[in-house]
Amino acid sequence: MPLIVSAMGFDHDELRRLVAEVGAREEVALIELNFSCPNVETGLIMGADPNETAAAVETLRPLTDKPLIVKLTPNATEPAAVAEAAQDAGADAVSLINTLKGMALHPSSGEPWLGGTTGGVSGPAVRAIALEQVHAVARRVRVPVIGMGGIQSGRDAADFLAAGATCVAIGTESFRDPAAGVRIADELAAISRKEREFSPARAS
């Protein structure tokens, strides 16, 4: 079965090694570049700055013929500008959103509950933010946009497609329901059939 592999690193050298080795494997069909780590060479989050994103994609693009998907962080000042920079540097698609930065406090001690103090917020709480950013990015780029962020149902998936996504991905909901992908695909298909049945062209 073809695989989509996500690669994440803390500098260009680490990313180069990952992309070269993963890209050489026949079972890998696409490579997602998760630019959510700080670049230890510059101190910048790779996916938060258009120039940093472009430099990373330009470095990695010659290493593989496999399509490259750049996963965008919602913590950028202007995600659409980052998406355009990724596209112009050679990305074949973009995916968004990644998690939002957040923190939880332990109910007894009041201290940060997560080992790294902060962590990534995902699930239905981020869906409205994800929809807005997908909408903005889809109007800025020509490459396919993979929408994600709090999708729990076929209706949610349909909303992302209406906002401009080419396709959608299911993340957090799969932890609650391992069969979420199949269920949501079936629900989306049912919505599409219903919309075709009641479209103005059909009614006339």
Residues identified as active-site:
37
Identity at 204, one-letter amino acid code: S
For the chain, the straight-line distance linking the first and the last C-alpha, in angstroms and rounded, comes to 44
Burial of 79 (0-12, 13-18, 19+ CB in 10 A): buried
| Two tokens, residue 169 | 């991905």
Residue 196: CB atoms within 10 Å: 10
Q: Which tokens go with 141?
A: 């780029």
User: Mapped to the 3 state alphabet, what secondary structure does 182-202 carry?
Assistant: HHHHHHHHHHHHHHHHCCHHH
- Contact residues for 170 (Cβ-Cβ < 8 A; gap 6+): 148, 151, 180, 181, 184
What DSSP element (H or E) covers 154? helix 154-163
> From the CB of residue 133, how many other CB atoms can be counted at a distance below 10 Å?
25
Say how far apart CA 102 and CA 120 lie, in whole Å. Answer: 6
